[in-house]
Amino acid sequence: MSNTGRTVLVTGGGSGMGKAIAELFAKNGDHVYILGRREDQLKSVVAASAGKISSFTADLSKPQEVEAARKQILSKHKEIDVLVNCAGASGGVEHGLSLEAALEAWQGVMANNLTTAFLMTYAFRPHLKRPGGRIINVTSMAAFAGSSRVGGEAYAAAKSAIHGMMRTLVRQLAPEGVTINCVSPGYIDNTDFFGGKTLHEARIVAESQIPAGRTGQPEDIAPGVFYLASDEASFVNGEILNINGGQQFSR
C-alpha cells in the first residue's frame, strides 16, 4: 500500500488502539493529528513521533471543542484524507440506581462512544478528500454479542448505533467517492472491560473465550484500519471488519 503524505485524524490517539493506529499511519509517511482529553498522553505520543504526529486536546463529545479542533486543523490543511473515530470508554449503568442516575450514566457512555463519532464525522465530512476520503470507526464485538459485564447494555447499544450510522452514511457518501467502514475488535488487553479484575485475571477470562488462544493487542487492530484507509480498499464500503482471534464464534 503506497499511500503516503495524507492528513489523518485519529480520535482517542493518546493510548491503546488509537495510539497504535496513529503510529502506524505516521510510520508510513502520513501526517497524523491525534485528538483526545488527556493532554499528557497526547504529548507523550507526539514527543516520540519525530514530528510526524500533532495533537489537539479536546472533549470530543462537546460541539464547541470539536469546532475548535476543526478550525485549527483546517487552518493548516485544505482537506482531510482519513478520519479514524477511535475515541471511546468502557462503562455501564449499575443496577439499583435511581432513574435520574441511570439516565446520567447512560448518557455518559453514549457521549464517550457514540456522540464523539457523530460530531467528528459531522464536522469533518465536508472536508474529506473527494474522491478518496476515508472514515473508519472502531467499534466492538459487543455490538453483535452484547456486553459480558453487568450494566453493559449502554456500551453495546452505543457501538451498535455506530454500525447503523455507518450504513446510513454509505448511501450519502459513496457517490462522492468517500468510504466509511468499521473495525470491530474483541478483547484487547484492558482491565476496564472486566470490572476491575487484574490484567492477569482478565487475560485468563479472555483467553478461555478466544480460539486463537491469546488476547488481542492494539497492534493487531491498526493494520486493519490502515488497510481500510488505503487506495486498495476503495471498493470496500459499509464493511465491519472483525478482528478478534475468532472470539465471535465462542459466545
| C-alpha cell, 211 | 480460539
Q: Cell 456522540 appears where? A: 115
Q: What share of the chain is helix, strand, coil (3-state, %, to 5)?
A: 50, 15, 35
- What positions carry a catalytic annotation? 155
* Closest-CA residue to 136 (of 244, 233, 39, 29): 233
**Burial call 153-165: b when 16+ CB within 10 Å, e when fewer:** bbbbbbbbbbbeb
Rounded-to-integer distance, Cα 121 and Cα 99, Å: 31
> What DSSP designation does 230 have?
S
DSSP 125-179: GGGB-TTT-EEEEE--THHHH--SSTTTHHHHHHHHHHHHHHHHHHHHHGGGT-E
Write phi, then psi, for 138 (nearest 5 degrees): -95, 115
Q: At what angle do helices 99-110 and 153-173 cross, to 10 degrees?
A: 40
Cis peptide before 218 (omega within 30 of 0): no
